[in-house]
């Protein structure tokens, strides 16, 4: 029998004679190499070494504990098993590494615990949750729970093939979800659905709508539910609000088995100041900067990680790889990257510290982000990393070796802001703001973009997406169908926040379920059918995704018809000759005999029309397609004479049969 043997059973053999208060300090999971790599900032699997690990030592079942607290005078494990007695189970320091460790018999799965830390400084004492705890009590309780991560995965087929689903030439349509408010149980005081209850419901909905992935707002444990997960304390634990770690594994496994990828939001930019969390961990600024001009985020009143500290880098990079390895996540979307890149982010003059060259760039954070992407893609080349970066920082989604940050994709916040500003205007004024739609093509291929209509745009008084649209109810829904059609035919991957698929009227509120009852009304049901149709079109037509990141995949036909507020453009596939013509009419006027240039003759089939009756439209269109006439127009040898429905997007395919 191996000396270290994982054992999920928290009990002991009946013949064991050890006392509950006896600690076996000689046992360790840490090798000399582990300590060197950790202190050097290059240990990326800390979750295998630190934290709480149920195991058997010399025939005794118990748990090995290890925690980093270099400025502690004493560290002990306290919990329900020893009546929270801080003198009962002290840990032992491991040389000069700053790690305290020990094995405690008769402690196993389900044991509630914290670390009691006595600092060398100012007599400071505090009870802390485990920074690398795999499970925590349900908030508002704050203790950690001993918990193994055993799980029998059933997603082998997905994992073997997912590299095909994450390339820049693949269709990626993300459905952004907050698990606590997507759907609740009204018959039971509107309680949360558990991870296991969510699995079949979410899989069925996402499959029906045709999204390729879900992107989950942070599931990592967070004490304040109203933070939506962005105030993380448990960087190695899914929130216990919805179940156990295995329950969350089941959710991801279930989605994978139904052909749906899972992207997790991950927050290395800041962490909350809650006493049980990472802040002032051992009586010193251990995880955060000691200089509060660098260690406190002024907008969120939260701590900022010290990216220049080796052990902190090991901690964060281990967290990133943990979700990819242990939970089979298909990618990580990194929140608030801009706040990491700039030392003066949201700070006035005199409130920030320049870098060694006198600049505002956070060199340590830049090095960390590059290392993060290097290690993720080295260990998991078939996943995606996504940056929420709101500035013009160059080459966010370009490889490190050419000077980039190394992300796979970047949110196009400029597209989102410009497009929503344009769409919120009364159509009569849109002709004067045409550049809000056309400007993007000057930079559209500088990065590998995601076009996001995210949760941030439907909160804090900004109104819902349908609420932003001008006009009466019919015009609002026509505008929203137009917005979605425009997004799905523009270069870039797609992201839509939950509730947008059926046009929820009210802003998203994390304490309530989505307004699913709205689907009984024709305009809402029609909008959801439109989203289904767009996802099918996007996935079916290579021209809409194969060259998303290449200029050769897009070509303007006419971007200058501002007086009519009409745009027309081509989308192209690679090497196959597949060609789509898209025409968008941003006014509520039916435009008859509207001529658009075409590069080919023959029949152009109308494969998509947002004004169809089935989607809640008025039914105007082109009777299924149009024959191109040999009349040069827009610098092309052929042209089509079209009927443009009001507030609509039309998609035509060249050479299609079925005339």
Active site residues: 335, 388
Residue 481 has a CB neighbour count (10 Å cut-off) of 29
How far apart are the C-alpha atoms of 560 and 570, rounded to whole Å? 15
In 3D, which of 241, 244, 247 has the Cα closest to residue 225?
Answer: 241
Contacts of 180 (CB under 8 A, 6+ apart): 192, 225, 241, 242, 510
Strand 112-119 with 144-145, pairing: antiparallel
DSSP H helices in 327-362: 337-341
Neighbours of 149 (CB within 10 A): 18
Using alpha carbons, list the distances in angstroms from residue 592 to 235, 506, 640, 643, 646. Answer: 58, 36, 12, 5, 11
Contact 641, 595 (CB under 8 A): yes
Burial class for 187, CB neighbours closer than 10 Å (0-12, 13-18, 19+):
exposed
Q: Which two tokens stand for residue 269?
A: 């930019």
The Cβ of residue 632 has, within 10 Å, a number of other Cβ atoms equal to 12
Residue 102 φ then ψ, to 5°: 175, 155
The structure tokens listed for 574 are: 């690679």
- Which residue's structure tokens are 């970047």? 410
Number of other CB atoms surrounding residue 468 within 10 Å: 18
Taking a C-beta distance cutoff of 8 angstroms, is the pair 580, 651 a contact? yes
8 Å CB contact between 420 and 468 = yes
Two structure tokens written together for 163:
């590299």
DSSP 177-240: E-HHHH-EEGGGTTEEPPHHHHHHHHHHHHHHHT-SEEEESP-EE-S-GGGTT-S-SEEEEE-G
The C-alpha atoms of residue 526 and residue 481 are separated, in whole angstroms, by: 9
Q: Which residue has the tokens 């993007």?
A: 440
Q: State the distance between the two ends of the chain, measured CA to CA, in whole angstroms.
A: 73
Task: Enter the DSSP assignment of 636.
Answer: B
107 to each of 1, 47, 59, 117, how far by Cα in Å? 20, 19, 14, 20
Separation between Cα atoms, residue 615 and residue 608, nearest integer Å: 11
Residue 162 CB coordination number (10 Å): 20
Closest CA to 195 of 240, 227, 161, 151: 240
The dihedral built from the CA positions of residue 584, 587, 589 and 594, taken in this order, carries a sign that is: negative
Helix (H) and strand (E) counts in the chain:
14, 30
What's the distance, CA 592 to chain centroid? 43
Q: Can you tell me the distance from the alpha carbon of 2 to that of 388, in angstroms, rounded to the nearest whole number?
A: 46
- Residue 367 φ then ψ, to 5°: -65, -40
What CA–CA distance (Å, rounded) separates 529 from 405? 38
* CA 536, 542, 544, 546 torsion-angle sign: positive
């Amino acid at each position: 029998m191996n000396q270290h043997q994982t054992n999920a059973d928290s009990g002991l053999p009946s013949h064991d004679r050890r006392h509950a208060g006896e600690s076996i300090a000689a046992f360790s999971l840490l090798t000399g190499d582990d300590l060197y790599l950790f202190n050097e900032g290059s240990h990326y699997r800390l979750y295998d070494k630190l934290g709480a690990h149920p195991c058997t030592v010399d025939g005794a079942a118990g748990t090995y504990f290890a925690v980093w607290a270099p400025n502690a005078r004493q560290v002990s494990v306290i919990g329900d098993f020893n009546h929270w007695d801080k003198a009962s189970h002290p840990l032992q320091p491991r040389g000069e590494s700053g790690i305290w460790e020990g094995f405690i018999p008769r402690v196993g799965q389900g044991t509630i615990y914290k670390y009691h830390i006595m600092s060398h400084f100012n007599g400071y004492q505090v009870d802390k949750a485990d920074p690398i705890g795999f499970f925590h009590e349900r908030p508002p309780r704050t203790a950690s729970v001993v918990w193994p991560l055993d799980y029998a995965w059933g997603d082998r087929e997905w994992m073997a093939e997912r590299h095909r689903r994450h390339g820049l030439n693949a269709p990626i349509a993300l459905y952004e979800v907050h698990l606590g408010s997507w759907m609740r149980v009204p018959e039971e005081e509107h309680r949360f659905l558990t991870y296991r209850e969510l699995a079949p419901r979410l899989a069925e909905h996402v499959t029906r709508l045709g999204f390729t992935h879900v992107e989950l707002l942070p599931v990592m444990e967070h004490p304040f539910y109203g933070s939506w997960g962005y105030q993380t304390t448990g960087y190695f634990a899914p929130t216990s609000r919805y179940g156990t770690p295995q329950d969350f594994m089941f959710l991801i496994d279930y989605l994978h088995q139904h052909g749906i990828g899972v992207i997790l939001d991950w927050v290395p930019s800041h962490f909350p100041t809650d006493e049980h969390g990472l802040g002032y961990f051992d009586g010193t600024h251990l995880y955060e900067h000691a200089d509060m001009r660098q260690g406190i985020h002024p907008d969120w009143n939260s701590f900022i990680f010290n990216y220049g500290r080796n052990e902190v880098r090991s901690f964060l990079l281990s967290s990133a790889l943990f979700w990819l390895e242990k939970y089979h996540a298909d990618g990580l979307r990194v929140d608030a990257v801009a706040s990491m890149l700039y030392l003066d982010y949201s700070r006035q003059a005199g409130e920030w510290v320049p870098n060694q060259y006198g600049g505002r760039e956070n060199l340590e954070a830049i090095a960390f982000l590059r290392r993060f992407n290097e290690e993720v893609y080295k260990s998991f080349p078939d996943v995606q990393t996504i940056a929420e970066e709101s500035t013009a920082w160059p080459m966010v989604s370009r490889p490190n070796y050419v000077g980039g940050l190394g992300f796979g994709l970047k949110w196009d916040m400029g597209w989102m802001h410009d497009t929503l500003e344009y769409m919120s205007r009364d159509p009569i004024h849109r002709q004067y703001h045409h550049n809000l739609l056309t400007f993007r093509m000057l930079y559209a291929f500088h990065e590998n973009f995601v076009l996001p209509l995210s949760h941030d745009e439907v909160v804090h008084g900004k109104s819902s997406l349908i609420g932003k649209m001008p006009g009466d109810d019919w015009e609002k829904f026509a505008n929203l169908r137009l917005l979605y059609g425009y997004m799905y035919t523009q270069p870039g991957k797609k992201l839509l926040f939950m509730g947008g698929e059926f046009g929820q009227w009210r802003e998203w509120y994390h304490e309530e379920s989505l307004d699913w009852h709205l689907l009984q009304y024709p305009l809402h049901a029609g909008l959801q059918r439109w989203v289904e149709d767009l996802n099918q079109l996007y996935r079916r037509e290579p021209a809409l995704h194969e060259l998303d990141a290449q200029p050769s995949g897009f070509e303007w036909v006419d971007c200058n018809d501002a007086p009519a507020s009409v745009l027309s453009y081509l989308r192209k596939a690679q090497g196959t000759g597949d060609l789509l013509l898209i025409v968008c009419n941003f006014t509520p006027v039916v435009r008859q005999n509207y001529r658009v240039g075409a590069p080919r003759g023959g029949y152009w089939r109308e494969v998509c029309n947002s004004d169809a009756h089935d989607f809640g439209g008025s039914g105007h269109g082109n009777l299924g397609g149009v024959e191109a006439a040999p009349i040069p127009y827009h610098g092309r040898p052929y042209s089509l004479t079209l009927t443009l429905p009001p507030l609509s997007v039309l998609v035509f395919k060249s050479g299609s049969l079925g005339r």
